[in-house]
Structure 1
Amino acid sequence: MYKTILTGVVAAAMSSFALTAHAADVTLNLSNEYSANSVHGQGDQYFADLVAEKTDGSVEIVVHYGGALGYKSADHFDAVGVGALEIADTYGGALGGIDPIFLVSSLPFLTTTLDEAELLYGASEPALKEVFEENGQILLYASPWPPSGLWGKAPLNTVEALSGVKIRTYDKNGTTAFNSLGAAAVRLSWADVVPSISTGAIDAVLTSAELGAATSFWDYFDHYSEIYQYSIPVNLVHMSKTVFDGLTEEQQAAILEAAAETRDRNWAAIPQMVEQTYADLDEHGVTIVQPSGPEFQAQLQDAGKLALDEWLESAGETGQAIIDDYMSKVSQ
């Protein structure tokens, strides 16, 4: 397991926080790479508002959107671990280099519904919590993205259409799957996506319809291709344990209650959000492309199996136990 090492200076700073955090008013910073109007941006503000309400204003969470603090999702784990950030909202797959367990929610075509995605998260949550705990952090809650598809300038609903297309993927799973289908897939952090579109470095983007709409992707693309619920990945909201321990018991309880309520709200919000997003795409002239048929579906599933096999090799017994647990629950 990956282990963050605190420097003396940072450790001293965090100890200082622990001594002073019992004051009536505490301000905590929450970093998010995505925009304020994205599903997770909205969820973060909901969480911050709940914490303020439940603590009678004694804990203020200031949400910084769009990577405003200079952190991408891949930076959040270390930043929270060493105390540079108190809280972060992080796309799980961006932490795949720390531990392959973080890639589980984005395994292609493993989940086909929101209920299945929640079952997969439930199977993986204990292992995810363990990684955070070993690195001085608390996993507060996880929230899903809407299903992923492909934004592009033409339909991308056959293997032939994917051939040679420079597709932005969000983690190793996507790069493995789409390269096996003949695309030229490249992993990019969200902050790098729009600049790469503008310079022609990529031709298409793997992401949700919702996040593309929140970023006005219709300024660049006029097609959104559904690909059989490619995946329903999750973001993880995690907090420094030193900072958490420095709060009063009442403040800690309020944060955990707010986290649980935000989690439930965010999972429940996805269906209506997808419906509204599709209406927005229609209003802006974006064509929603359906998959081409059983042959394409089988080819996609083969690509997903390749990514799963690679992931299981790296995730070992822990990964296999998660998949076994998930499959047993899906079959019930």
Structure 2
Amino acid sequence: MILTRRTLFLAGMAAPALVRPARAQARWQMTTAFPDSNFHTRNNRLFIEEVQAATQGRVQIQLHPNGSLLPMPQIKRGVQQGQAQIGEILLSAYGNEDPFFEIDGIPQLAGTLAQGRRLNELSRPYIEARFQRQGLSLLHVVAWPNAGFFSNATIDTIEALRGTRFRTFSAMTNRFATLVGANPTLIQAAEVPQAFATGVVNAMVTSASTGVDSAAWDFTRVYTPVGFTRSRNAVFINRRALEALTPADQAVIRAAAATAETRGWQMAEDSIVANEATLAQRGMNVARPTPALLEGLERVSQELTREWITRAGEDGARVIAAYRG
């Protein structure tokens, strides 16, 4: 076969078409356990919009909120196995897998925004390293607003929790309930209203944001914000899926994630006043914590911190020492 100039020209024109399938759009699934109304989910939708716009549609992400694709306990494994490419979890809910993930779930350890940021700064490298070893890449971490007790009776001392049927969402909250004499039951966020309606639980500790999401005024009368935790949600990606993109598109995702983290922490702070106001408008008593309650919580916090360091080992002791120092 004689290769004429025309043949070579046509072959050159066809070459881009031959490689085009390798540059096909990435169509990803993202799974989270939180509802559309939650500020974490709203933040993630903005993240998705920014990624899709900046990649000019080369990366498409479909978000599945409220545990509709995978429930919270299955999300991390689901992303590792490729059932979804991106996932969001409450880190402290994975304490049974690795005690280090519970650090921001220790009661009263980081109750303010400044304390939460400091704890995040110190502990994040350890979390990133753990995710990397499991084929995951951490994208962004966003704290929840400060948390408090939802109940029907006033909680003015730690002893008032004794005997309650207490909703828990992690190993740490389960241990807290046990220490104060409550009866713990693990309930996922999407199942909270039904659990209260059926009498499975009658008290819980969570943020005002989750209280609004679950319409807590339908089943409780009092909210007592105590700065219980600044627990964090982690958004992460299957590393193979990320590395299959061009370096430019990987950089886009990293940049959008950094923006989402900054925005998310501000959204968490902004939501405190708004959500507490919503609870009050719906007829709930937003009660300020008594000194006796805070003193009792501090005693329990000291015990839980000691227990956590024992489980988390050298990494845990190192972070707590730096945080307190």
CA distance in 2, matches of 1:43, 1:72: 20
Q: Does 1:266 align with 2:264?
A: yes
Counterpart contact for 1:157–1:290, Cα < 8 Å: no
Rate the CA distance shift 1:121–1:201 in 2: closer, same or farther, 3 A: same
* Cα drift, residue 216 of structure 1: 1.3
* Cα drift, residue 20 of structure 1: 9.6
Match of 2:38 in 1: 38
Deviations 1:257-278 (A, max 9, x none): 0000000001112222111112
Match of 2:302 in 1: 305
Structure of larger gyration radius? 2
Q: Does 1:128 align with 2:145?
A: no
Structural mapping, 1:15-26, within 5 Å: 22-26=22-26
RMSD: 1.6
* Cα drift, residue 182 of structure 1: 2.0
Counterpart contact for 1:52–1:59, Cα < 8 Å: yes
Counterpart contact for 2:193–2:219, Cα < 8 Å: no
Match of 1:12 in 2: none
CA distance in 2, matches of 1:23, 1:73: 33
CA distance in 2, matches of 1:20, 1:77: 32
Match of 2:230 in 1: 232
Match of 2:29 in 1: 29
Match of 1:13 in 2: none
CA distance in 1, matches of 2:82, 2:24: 21
CA distance in 2, matches of 1:156, 1:179: 17
Match of 2:311 in 1: 314
* Cα drift, residue 282 of structure 1: 1.8
The TM-score normalised by the length of structure 2 is: 0.90
Deviations 1:63-117 (A, max 9, x none): 1111111x22221121111111100011101211111111011111111211110
* Cα drift, residue 122 of structure 1: 1.1
Match of 2:118 in 1: 119
Q: Percent identity?
A: 26
Runs of 4+ in 1 over 6 A off after TM superposition: none
Counterpart contact for 1:223–1:289, Cα < 8 Å: yes
Match of 1:7 in 2: none
Structural mapping, 1:42-191, within 5 Å: 42-69=42-69, 71-191=70-190
Match of 1:10 in 2: none
Secondary structure of the residue aligned to 2:23 is: coil
CA distance in 1, matches of 2:22, 2:199: 51
CA distance in 2, matches of 1:222, 1:243: 46
Secondary structure of the residue aligned to 1:200 is: coil
Rate the CA distance shift 1:180–1:248 in 2: closer, same or farther, 3 A: same
The TM-score normalised by the length of structure 1 is: 0.89
Secondary structure of the residue aligned to 1:97 is: coil
Structure 1: give runs of 5+ residues left out of the alignment: 1-18
Paired residue type of 2:88:
D
* Cα drift, residue 176 of structure 1: 1.8
CA distance in 2, matches of 1:270, 1:34: 14
CA distance in 2, matches of 1:326, 1:117: 10
* Cα drift, residue 21 of structure 1: 8.7
CA distance in 2, matches of 1:74, 1:94: 8
CA distance in 2, matches of 1:302, 1:46: 41
Secondary structure of the residue aligned to 2:229 is: coil
Q: How many residues align?
A: 307
Rate the CA distance shift 1:22–1:280 in 2: closer, same or farther, 3 A: farther
CA distance in 2, matches of 1:301, 1:192: 29
Counterpart contact for 1:157–1:289, Cα < 8 Å: no
Counterpart contact for 1:177–1:306, Cα < 8 Å: no
Match of 2:321 in 1: 324
CA distance in 1, matches of 2:125, 2:112: 22
Secondary structure of the residue aligned to 2:253 is: helix
Paired residue type of 1:140:
L
CA distance in 2, matches of 1:132, 1:320: 20
Rate the CA distance shift 1:284–1:22 in 2: closer, same or farther, 3 A: farther
CA distance in 1, matches of 2:21, 2:176: 46
